Structure formats: structure tokens, C-alpha cells
Amino acid sequence: MDPLSDVLALLRIEALVSARLEAGGDWALRFPAQPHIKFGAALRGGYWLTMDGETPVRIEAGDSYLMTDCPGYVLASDPELPAVDGAELYRAADGGAVRYQGDEVLVLGGGFLLDEQNGGLLKDVLPPLVHIPGGPSSSAILHATLQLFEHELGNRRMGSDVVMSRMGDILLVQALRAYVAGDAPSGWLGALGDARIGAALRLMHGEVGRNWTVEEIAAEVGMSRSTFARRFRQRVGASPLDYLLRWRMHLARHELRKGTTSIAGIAYRIGYSSESAFANAFKRTFGQAPRRYWKASIGSAAGSMAR
């Protein structure tokens, strides 16, 4: 099993409107904060990215980046220049493309809106800025996807919105792969790049209902119990069984919102021998009994349909 695919499936990712920016000369554009993951890439030229309250970061051609819970930020040829309102330029533009004073720099941008309840599974393990340098050692697939994305955005042919939405999902996965392959990031996402801890995560995701012990998982990945437990906590930020519990509860919440499986069936699927034991664990995790959560979810869904 693939833990990254498992998590992304729960996030119900929606690729938001994408944009193309060409700029030249001395320029600086400010953009407002956005409550989602922002994606950007330099296809031509270089520029400075300055997130509010942070040190400017140089972005070169071939680089890409993610901004988590995107704050206000400035793109500029020089970080000392006063910035004009970039969002206003896009509001006046046609087809999500802006040309500002030249074409020395070409930037692609987009965003990803995540499921509100499960979004923390990804956002909590990402730093405010994920900078993925370009070059021959970076993801060739990511670069090729960006080129195709730019082609669709520039031509706007029949079905382009659907194509770009699907390609947006691919861009996010490719960016996360490149990030994991880099400087050993923390959290479960970075742990996927660790041969043994990543294998342990795949085991737990693959048999989420199994009554795992730390000793069994350690033996499966060829480590002693103590070394495995210590290394898992260092890489993931939680003990193996705490991680497994949390993942089980996220799966349960997802199933409750779907409303297609009984509470007893959900409990059995994720490894609980009784509905009461599952209910206690769910309430400890989310502060609400599963039956009450299910009723609230049904009511919320009905209200949305009525609107």
C-alpha cells in the first residue's frame, strides 16, 4: 500500500484556478494570503519570492515551490522594490494570463484546496515554504508536467479546465515526491523516504485492521524493537501505535461522512473487536462520539443539498 495515495484520497483535493505570469524589467507584484496550498514554478528567468515576515528566497528557472496556508507574498525582480497589486492585474486579465512590462520571466501558479477536516494530514507535515530547486537532479517528470500545464494554460482549448485540474493533481504529487527525495523532511511524509520506516508505514496502511504490536512491525522491517520505536518517533513525530490509532480514526471519520457503512462495520474494518471500544477511541481523538458525528455529517450534507 502507498501511504501518500491513502492520505491524498482522504483530502478530496480540488485544483484551483491556475495563472500564467510574464514579467520584465523592474517589477514587483503583491498577492494576498490564501487559505490553501499555493503552487508556483519558474519556467523562464529568475525572481525573488518574499512571504510576509520571511526572508526573500531566490527562484531560478526550473525551480518550483509550495506555500502552505499561503500567506501574503511578493514576486519581484528585486525584493526592495515597492509592489503593485498583482491580484488586481489578474482580475482585469483575460484567461488567467498576465503580461507585465515584458517577458523575461515566465511563472506558472496555481493552488490546491484540501478537505477542511483532513487537510491537516498534509499541511501539518509541510513547512510554510517547500522550495524544490531545478536542475538535472530534480524531477524530470515534474518539469515535463509543468511544460504540458503551461501549454494548456496558454492555449485554452476545449476541455482545458478539466485537463488542468487533473494535471494539477499530478503536479502536487510530483512536487511532494521531489520534496521527499530532498533534504529528509520531518513528519510521516519525510519518513516515506526512509527505507525501513517507510516500509513500516506501508505495512500499517496495508493492514490497517491488523492487531499490530511494535515488536511485529520492527521484525517485519528488520530492526530491533527499541531501535525501531526510537527511529519511528524521530522521523514521524509519534510512536508507531499512536500513528496507527490516528490513521484509523481519520479513516473512520471519512467512512462516517460517506454514510455507506455501519458503525460496527467501520469498527471491525479498522481493527476493533467491539463498537464500544471503537467509539471510545474515536471520542478521545475527535471529542465526539461516532454516532453523533455521523448524524451531524448527514445533517450538514442535507443542508448543503437544500441550498
Q: Is the pLDDT of residue 112 over 80?
A: yes
**3-180: CATH, from 3.40.1190.10, 2.60.120.280, 3.30.70.1230, 2.60.40.1930:** 2.60.120.280
190-242, pLDDT tens digit by residue?
A: 888 888 999 999 999 999 999 999 999 999 999 999 999 999 999 998 999 99
pTM above 0.85, yes or no: no
d(CA 175, CA 139): 8
Question: What average pLDDT does the chain have?
Answer: 86
| pLDDT at position 220 | 96
What are the Cα distances from residue 199, in Å, to 206, 211, 213, 219, 228?
A: 10, 17, 15, 11, 12
List the helix and strand counts (H, then E) for the chain: 13, 12
SS3 call for 131: strand
Burial of 83 per CB tally in 10 Å (0-12, 13-18, 19+): middle
pLDDT at position 299, please? 58
Ranges 94-98, 125-129, 190-194, 239-243: which has the least confidence: 94-98
pLDDT computed for residue 307 by the predictor:
39
Which of 99, 100, 108, 55 has its CA nearest to residue 79? 55
Q: Which three cell numbers stand for residue 52?
A: 510576509
Distance CA 244, CA 271 (A): 10
Domain 240-307 has CATH 1.10.10.60: yes
End-to-end CA distance of the chain: 39
| pLDDT tens for each residue of 34-85 | 888 999 999 899 999 999 999 999 999 988 899 998 899 999 999 999 999 9
Percent of the chain predicted with pLDDT > 90: 51
* Domain residue spans of the chain: 3-180, 184-238, 240-307
Q: Among 103, 112, 46, 109, which Cα is nearest to 79's?
A: 46
pLDDT value at 8 more than 70: yes
Distance CA 143, CA 62 (A): 7
Contact between 21 and 40 under an 8 Å Cβ cutoff? The reply is no
* DSSP code of residue 17: -
d(CA 35, CA 2): 27
Contact between 168 and 110 (Cβ < 8 Å)? yes
